[in-house]
Amino acid sequence: MSKNPVCELYGIRYPLVMGGITPKPELGAAVSNAGGLGCIEGIAPLDQMREQIRRFRELSDKPFSINFPLAMGNPEQVQERAKIVIEEKVPAVITSAGSPKILTGMLKEAGVIVAHVVAGISHARKAAAAGVDALIAEPTESGGYRGANEISMMVLIPAVRRTLPDLPLIAAGTVADRAGLVAVMALGADGVQLGTRLVVTKEAEGSYGDHVNKLILAADDTSTMSADGRIRPRISKPEFAEAVLGTSSKRTQMGQVSALIDKVVTVDEVFKELFEGGEEHAQSVADRLKQLTRVGQTA
If binding is defined by CB under 6 A, does position 260 make contact with ligand FMN? no
If binding is defined by CB under 6 A, does position 199 make contact with ligand FMN? yes
Q: Residue 28 or residue 290: which is nearer to ligand FMN going by CB?
A: 28
Site string for ligand FMN, 101-140 (x = CB under 6 A): ----------------x--------------------x--
Task: Output the smallest distance, CB 299 to ligand FMN, in A.
Answer: 38
If binding is defined by CB under 6 A, does position 25 make contact with ligand FMN? no
Of residues 256, 189, 171, 269, the one with CA closest to residue 219: 256
If binding is defined by CB under 6 A, does position 142 make contact with ligand FMN? yes
If binding is defined by CB under 6 A, does position 168 make contact with ligand FMN? no
Among 27, 30, 255, 261, binds ligand FMN (CB under 6 A): 255
Starting at the earlier edge strand, list the strands of the sheet with 16-18. 16-18, 191-194, 169-172, 134-137, 113-118, 92-96, 64-69, 38-41
If binding is defined by CB under 6 A, does position 12 make contact with ligand FMN? no
If binding is defined by CB under 6 A, does position 254 make contact with ligand FMN? yes
Q: Site size for ligand FMN, by CB under 6 A?
A: 27
Q: Residue 9 or residue 153: which is nearer to ligand FMN going by CB?
A: 153
Site string for ligand FMN, 35-74 (x = CB under 6 A): ------x-------------------------x-x-----
Q: Residue 3 or residue 263: which is nearer to ligand FMN going by CB?
A: 263
Residues 6 or more apart whose Cβ sits within 8 Å of residue 198? 18, 19, 21, 27, 31, 204, 267, 270
Contact positions toward ligand FMN, by CB under 6 A? 19-21, 41, 67, 69, 96, 117, 138, 142-145, 172-174, 193-197, 199, 252-255, 257
